[in-house]
Amino acid sequence: MHEGELHDLSDDADYAAAQQQGSASMMRCDSEKRRSSNEPEGAEIVFSKDNVTIHPTQFASERIGGRLKLIKQSSSLFLTWIPYKGQSTNARLSEKDMNLYTIREVPFADVRSIRRHTPALGWQYIIVVLSSGLAFPPLYFYNGGVREFLATVKQHVFLMRSAEDANIFLVNNFQNPLQQTLSSLELPGAVSIACVPSTPDLGGESASHENEERNDVAILDGSPSTRQYDRRERQKVHDPARDISIHVLEKFSLVTKFARETTSQLFGETQNNTFNVFERINFNQSILDSSQKPHNDAVEVNIAVPSDPFELNNLSLAWGKPRQPPLGLEEWATFLDSEGRVVDSDALRKRIFYGGVEHKVRKKVWEILLGYQVYESTYAERESRRSMKRTEYEIIKNQWQSISPEQEKRFTKFRQRKGLIEKDVVRTDRSISFYSGDDNPNLNLLHDILLTYSFYNFDLGYCQGMNDLLSPILFVMEDESESFWCFAALMERLGPNFNRDQNGMHSQLFALSKLVELLDGPLHNYFKQKDCLNYFICFRWILLQFKRELEFEKTMLLWEVLWTHHSSEHLHLYVCVAILKRYRGKIMEEQMEFDTLLKFINELSGEIDIDAILRDAEALCLCAGENGVSCIPPGTPPSLPLCNDIYLNPELEDKVL
């Protein structure tokens, strides 16, 4: 997503140096160099990452979360992974079983290689292979961090890429790199499979990122260039990662009985149905047969569309509640005490969820919903905070305003981001009177806020689409400083959508696929048949929170409903499901392929009845219940970043080193 940066950060000296110094913005709660009183003298935590997860069975909903650490003691580097106490979603696993998965102080002198895998859909994971040939189960990075992990390892041990597979990193191997092949891993058949030129390495990070970089603009604009992505996805003939991983985990199965089960689903392109609570309706076999047989063009073929297992009209009547008028100024006052505190935050969020907010009240409400102000603050406290944050904003803004022309010539990153912002700002919501016309001062504010944010969060910087998220906020707040801080608060939730590895987007698209599978099996099977299981057709919906699908006023209504987190903090995914189900008949009847489907989805812009969709989404969320929750991994945006120190097993923590 970032401008023209396609190289691997694990080979970036500047990036590695930044990791060594500590990046408070990128890894503020999980990658500081900390020292525990329980650790022996000289031990130093050089990397720590929360929400690194092991899947003990073939069911994606069953997982064990934990913390991954790299610990340096003297000149040696150790790897540990400790599960969170009582955090397994698998009821079959006892505390003793969970301890089987604990990785205790493994020295990198005993590590042969690290394999990195970035699937087209899902989470990045690594497989650590020991010199003995055994391997630990895959470690899934739900919140990203694989690059940082590899960069940190590279600072302390000799790490080099395999000449045969760029996603295999050999540890402390000092032989001629040209002699390194996958055969060194003792994986039968891996070399011949991995080296087949006609098989694209869809799991390769550099390839997938390059593809994502080329297509983010295309998807936003609905460009035909998205066909390149479709063609790339359809070339899935064989996945070397599956063969390698199966053999590796077969070795690990000597240690634990669950590991072999994992490979049957987690490394495959498709996954079995993991939810048996709802009865699945099998896809009409005649459709599958007809897609494989040639037809006479003169013969009209009637396509039988499978029935919807959860008919929306009936579902909404049974579960969804009717929408209400928006919250007005007088009613807003009833939620506040005499000093301005919100008396009942749950009741307020529920009221906004079912009706939204009148525009004249939005400024007061949005700053609280976004977390810029807190529910318990008084009028005086909120005003004091505005003053303090305005001063802070000016300090950050002055950082780029004070850059001289000579300095700018030597500041490539600044010039690139500034150029992108200038190009995007002039195209932002120009049909709205607030941004229309030449020399509009509001466009200048939009520009300044975005450029200031790129300095405030320098690691993330600026990406196309951020202008769309800021535009309604500035329209509502009508104040530069307050708009900035509300936008910064929103980006705390949506920032992972714009990470270079797009881990946040992958996580949400994967969760969406599981929700569709749960709530509309026939539609999910149809997408499977059409090679659309990556749900890339919904990319723009999620990235921009439906900003380009709805009228400006309706966008603001949807956003304030989503921000309440009343029904679910991931209600936007149920909104996606509701829209797809509304148009499922047309999609399946016309046998839309990826290109046609993407065009159809983009043409829905301005045609969506958001009140009906919100009612449908609430009904689907209630109907899915806990099964729906299990479809969405912890930390999936727009969840706030998770710090799980309180869940760490103290007994295991004491045993580290």
Cβ atoms within 10 Å, residue 346: 11
Q: Which two tokens stand for residue 106?
A: 């493994």
Q: Which two tokens stand for residue 375?
A: 């529910």
DSSP 607: T
Q: Looking at the DSSP assignment, which residues form a beta bridge with residue 80?
A: 69
Among 506, 518, 482, 613, residue whose Cα is nearest residue 121: 506
Q: Looking at the DSSP assignment, which residues form a beta bridge with residue 113?
A: 129, 170
506 φ/ψ angles, rounded to the nearest 5 degrees = -60, -45
In the chain, % helix, strand, coil (3-state, to 5) comes to: 50, 10, 40
Among 59, 79, 58, residue whose Cα is nearest residue 70: 79
Residue 253 makes CB contacts below 8 A (sequence gap 6+) with 259, 260
Residue 55 makes CB contacts below 8 A (sequence gap 6+) with 62, 63, 64, 137, 138, 140, 262, 266
Query: Which residue shows structure tokens 């400024």?
Result: 363
Distance CA 470, CA 456 (A): 15
Query: Which residue shows structure tokens 């499901």?
Result: 577
DSSP 562: H
> How confident is the model at residue 201, as a pLDDT?
40
Q: Which two tokens stand for residue 427?
A: 């195209």
Tell me the H-state helices in 22-102.
95-101
**E-assigned strand segments in 287-386:** none
Residue 191 makes CB contacts below 8 A (sequence gap 6+) with 164, 181, 182, 183
> Is the Cβ–Cβ distance between 141 and 125 less than 8 Å?
yes
- Taken in order 549, 550, 551, 552, the sign of the CA dihedral is negative
Distance CA 356, CA 368 (A): 14
Torsion, Cα of 409, 412, 414, 418 (10° steps): 90
206 half-sphere exposure, CB direction, 13 A CA radius: 11
Helix or strand holding residue 50 (H, E): strand 43-54
> How confident is the model at residue 123, as a pLDDT?
84
Rg of the chain (C-alpha set): 26
pLDDT in tens, 232-266: 444 433 444 444 444 433 433 333 333 333 333 33
Q: How far is CA 98 from CA 167, 192, 244, 420, 498, in A?
A: 29, 36, 25, 48, 34
Q: Which two tokens stand for residue 34?
A: 């900390």
Distance CA 623, CA 633 (A): 19
Cβ atoms within 10 Å, residue 70: 22
406 φ/ψ angles, rounded to the nearest 5 degrees = -65, -40
Distance CA 522, CA 141 (A): 31
> Is the Cβ–Cβ distance between 111 and 128 less than 8 Å?
yes
Q: How far is CA 572 from CA 355, 432, 498, 545, in A?
A: 17, 25, 17, 7
pLDDT in tens, 466-504: 999 999 999 999 999 999 999 999 999 999 999 877 788
Q: What angle do CA 646, 79, 75 make, to 5 degrees?
A: 120
Residues of the chain with pLDDT under 70: 1-41, 57-61, 86-98, 133, 173-320, 640-657
Residue 559 burial by Cβ neighbours in a 10 Å radius (0-12, 13-18, 19+): buried
Among 494, 475, 516, 495, residue whose Cα is nearest residue 631: 516
